[in-house]
Chain A
Amino acid sequence: MAKTAADRPELTEPAAIDDLHVLVLAGGLSYERDVSLRSGRRVLDALRTVGMDVELRDADIALLPALAADPPDAVVIALHGATGEDGSLRGVLDLCDVPYVGCDARASRLAWDKPSAKTVLREAGIPTPDWVALPHDRFSELGAVAVLDRIVDRLGLPLMVKPAQGGSGLGAAVVRESAALPAAMVGCFAYGSTALVERYVPGMDVAVSVIDLGDGPQALPAVEIVPRNGVYDYAARYTAGRTTWHAPARLDSGVATNVAEVALAAHRALGLRDLSRVDLIVDADGRSHVLEVNVSPGMTETSLLPLAVAAAGLDFGRVLSTLVARAAARRP
């Protein structure tokens, strides 16, 4: 059976936690800069609270000189969007021999590209809604109407349209009738050059955070998301009061166990490390469908991973500092 937070992990206090010099990276040039800055400040606070020596920085022209001048013992990547999640920054940190919390560059790149990640999940037998991913150019070459018609024929309605890469619900739309599809595609392509069109699975929206504090990945209690207006869009995500979160999610224990197992399986199938957040739908029959997996989950005041940590009865600062200490120990 999968481990859940019921077997509460021990937070081992490495001897020298307050000797570690930690760099939190936040900001970046992505659409999610604002979210990232909020995540970064929250992580900074949490690590300071447990007595760590922490510094907050943007990923900009000054970063590499700073890494060279004063190499941190570990980096926490609170960058969302391409810089933080497409693996490239992790690759650069590897070049600098600076360890970081989270998965390596290769796994990050895989999880970041939703169609690639879905292929891996499906091959591993993990349920994920049927999909098609198409770049903008295919529509222009083959004719949008013809292609969209085929998609609707094959996947049915409603559909979920979202950029193949990226988070925070940006550029995403539920399409309930084919007449609304072209507008949704235009909205989606404003955020990226490839669109992911998925069969829409109705059900309960849940997010399962996975953390590994030293004895293997653990699923924290699932968090159920109930947006006040029915749509978990940007405003609903980042305006306190706009969404009700239930942690743990209101699921039968058998279903809850299955959700945790599916999330852990997704985390492993993608080769992730330290932490991740798996977003799923639980349908009316209690089956889980993985929508996407985030390697740099949001850490803001209204983000899901911190809620799950609290629901597990753990302290956010202690969890983060344990992850940081584990990362620091990987230093080449």
Chain B
Amino acid sequence: MAGTTLDDYTDRYARRVRGMTASEIRALFAVASRPEVVSLAGGAPYIAALPLDAVGEMLGRLGSEHGATTLQYGIGQGTLELREGICEVMALSGIDAACGASPEDVVVTVGGQQALDLVARLFLDPGDVVLAEGPTYVGALGVFQAAQAQVVHVPMDSDGLIPEALETAIAEQARAGRRVKFLYTIPTYQNPTGVTLTEERRERVLDICERAGLLVVEDDPYGQLGFESEAPAPLRARRREGVFYLSTFSKTFAPGLRVGWILAPHAVRDKLVIASEAQILCPSGYAQAAVSTYLNTMPWREQLKVYREVYRERRDALLDALTDLMPAGTSWTKPGGGLFVWATLPDGLDSKAMMPRAVAARVAYVPGTGFYADGSGGGHMRLNFSFPPPERIREGVRRLAGVMEQEIATRQVFGAVRGEGPRRRAGSDAPGPALA
């Protein structure tokens, strides 16, 4: 008797599907949607800070008055009106006409996520190597894994990616005879660490990549969410060639519209459009109109200030609570912007192994393992401060500190046993996008 596996397609899946399994860590995130749980696990912007009445009215009119165009198919590259708006947004960060940014070279995408997928489709063959910060954005790891590329992490410190480590990694890959296609980097208010690459290192990283003939894929969803000072200019503002610039309206306006973009070198632009048409035909006309109308008729620069103000207060609440409550031996980053703090646990603690205790204590975070291709990172966790209000953040940290103390006590009782060593990442140690 053959029995059943309850999946008759098992033998037919593509190789890249193999890692897609149910994960108890992912399942533990399910409780985070209950109001009793303080979730520091999500990455959701605080949409309630938008003028929702005005936005809602605008959205209504886009249907009733302009439906004949907004609800129709559009062109693969995205509307000219939006691409012009995007250039205005980029100019605010210093990527302007003077450094060759033009609406002609912008491709509108379904969020920054599709932009990443397009870059992977254009440049990655199975087995190719991508260099990325360690840790890096979980969604990028998913894209590179689906492209069957290998991610090699380059260590970072509180000044961002370490240039010497980048040189070493490039040399090692060359010696091993492997083909490195690009450096994927989130230089400003990085996800998951909140760390920003310093002014001086930006030039050095660009030089190193130039010398090695490496493309740079710069992912910049958070650059305009700085709290104190302006962030150093993006890499793309410093080089016309060799840098792909990816960004999104998800964190500066609203993720539900799913609008992002790539600014690509001339030659690549057409291929991006063809690849994007094969994926999605065209981005949503309605969502594009919503963003361009928002940019043209509403005070979007003021809204950026509102977001920054809300997040600055919440970041301070998180940093203060960490200082007051965390057990000795814990350290964390002090982000100048963005949505996340990266905490490093006292020696011997494993953030993944601690998850069930956190669920029982009604607090959630993302274990560091989600942000490394090889599943390492168990000694860290990502904490989000954009969604919960300050008093909830403090309560969350209080619960988290209790969880850590219990875990420390248990580990002492049984000797300082380490958690499991790095495992191959199943792509599932992080929550889905809907988690606030």
1/0 per residue, CB under 8 A from A, across B1-23: the answer is 11111110110000000001111
Binds B, one of A2-10, A124-132, A242-250: A242-250
The number of chain A residues with a CB under 8 A from chain B is 48
CB distance from B234 to the nearest CB of A (A): 39
Indicate if the CB atoms of A237 and B356 lie closer than 8 Å. no
A302 is an interface residue with CB less than 8 A from chain B: yes
Closest A residue, CB atoms, query B412: A140
For residue B359, which residues in chain A have a CB less than 8 angstroms away from its CB? 29, 31
A63 is an interface residue with CB less than 8 A from chain B: no
In the bound complex, what is the Cα–Cα distance between A306 and B3 (angstroms)? 15
1/0 per residue, CB under 8 A from B, across A173-203: the answer is 0000000001101110111000000000000
In the bound complex, what is the Cα–Cα distance between A240 and B9 (angstroms)? 10
Partner of A34, one of B5, B20, B30, B410: B30
Indicate if the CB atoms of A224 and B30 lie closer than 8 Å. no
CB distance from B19 to the nearest CB of A (A): 10
Assess A234 versus B22: contact at CB under 8 Å? Given A31-B356, A190-B356: yes
Indicate if the CB atoms of A238 and B415 lie closer than 8 Å. no
Indicate if the CB atoms of A240 and B1 lie closer than 8 Å. no
Assess A136 versus B1: contact at CB under 8 Å? Given A241-B6, A242-B21: no
| Interface size bracket, B side | 35 or more
For residue B413, which residues in chain A have a CB less than 8 angstroms away from its CB? 136, 139-140, 144
In the bound complex, what is the Cα–Cα distance between A187 and B10 (angstroms)? 31
In the bound complex, what is the Cα–Cα distance between A30 and B338 (angstroms)? 32
For residue B9, which residues in chain A have a CB less than 8 angstroms away from its CB? 241
In the bound complex, what is the Cα–Cα distance between A235 and B419 (angstroms)? 19
Assess A241 versus B414: contact at CB under 8 Å? Given A31-B359, A33-B30, A170-B356: no
Indicate if the CB atoms of B1 and A182 lie closer than 8 Å. no
Q: In the complex, which residues 218-277 of chain A have their Cβ closer than 8 Å to any Cβ of chain B? A: 224, 226, 228, 233-235, 237-247, 250
For residue A170, which residues in chain B have a CB less than 8 angstroms away from its CB? 24, 356
Indicate if the CB atoms of A186 and B31 lie closer than 8 Å. no
Give the most central of B6, B357, B417: most A CB within 10 Å.
B6
1/0 per residue, CB under 8 A from A, across B312-326: the answer is 000000000000000
In the bound complex, what is the Cα–Cα distance between A15 and B138 (angstroms)? 55
Indicate if the CB atoms of A187 and B414 lie closer than 8 Å. no
In the bound complex, what is the Cα–Cα distance between A30 and B415 (angstroms)? 28
Partner of B21, one of A29, A31, A139, A239: A239
Indicate if the CB atoms of B22 and A237 lie closer than 8 Å. yes
Indicate if the CB atoms of A245 and B4 lie closer than 8 Å. yes
State the total of A-B contacts with C-beta under 8 angstroms.
111
B407 is an interface residue with CB less than 8 A from chain A: yes
B398 is an interface residue with CB less than 8 A from chain A: no
For residue B410, which residues in chain A have a CB less than 8 angstroms away from its CB? 136, 186, 189-190
Give the most central of B2, B30, B37, B355: most A CB within 10 Å.
B30
Indicate if the CB atoms of A187 and B6 lie closer than 8 Å. no
In the bound complex, what is the Cα–Cα distance between A182 and B359 (angstroms)? 22
Indicate if the CB atoms of B5 and A244 lie closer than 8 Å. yes
In the bound complex, what is the Cα–Cα distance between A245 and B23 (angstroms)? 20
Assess A224 versus B31: contact at CB under 8 Å? Given A171-B356, A186-B410, A235-B21: no
Give the most central of A35, A168, A171, A187: most B CB within 10 Å.
A187
For residue B362, which residues in chain A have a CB less than 8 angstroms away from its CB? 29
B147 is an interface residue with CB less than 8 A from chain A: no
A37 is an interface residue with CB less than 8 A from chain B: yes
Closest B residue, CB atoms, query A191: B356
For residue A307, which residues in chain B have a CB less than 8 angstroms away from its CB? 4
15 A-B residue pairs with Cβ-Cβ distance under 8 Å, sorted by A, are A30-B31, A33-B31, A34-B26, A144-B414, A168-B24, A183-B414, A185-B414, A187-B353, A190-B357, A224-B3, A239-B20, A244-B3, A245-B5, A247-B3, A250-B1
Q: Give me the interface of A with B, judged by CB distance under 8 Å.
A: 27, 29-35, 37, 58, 60, 136, 139-140, 144-145, 168, 170-171, 182-183, 185-187, 189-191, 224, 226, 228, 233-235, 237-247, 250, 301-302, 307
Q: A139-B413, A240-B5 are in contact. List 14 more A-B contacts (CB 8 A).
A: A29-B36, A29-B362, A34-B27, A182-B417, A190-B407, A226-B3, A235-B22, A235-B23, A235-B24, A235-B426, A241-B5, A241-B6, A245-B4, A245-B6
Among all A-B residue pairs, the 3 with the closest Cβ atoms: A241-B7, A240-B7, A238-B22
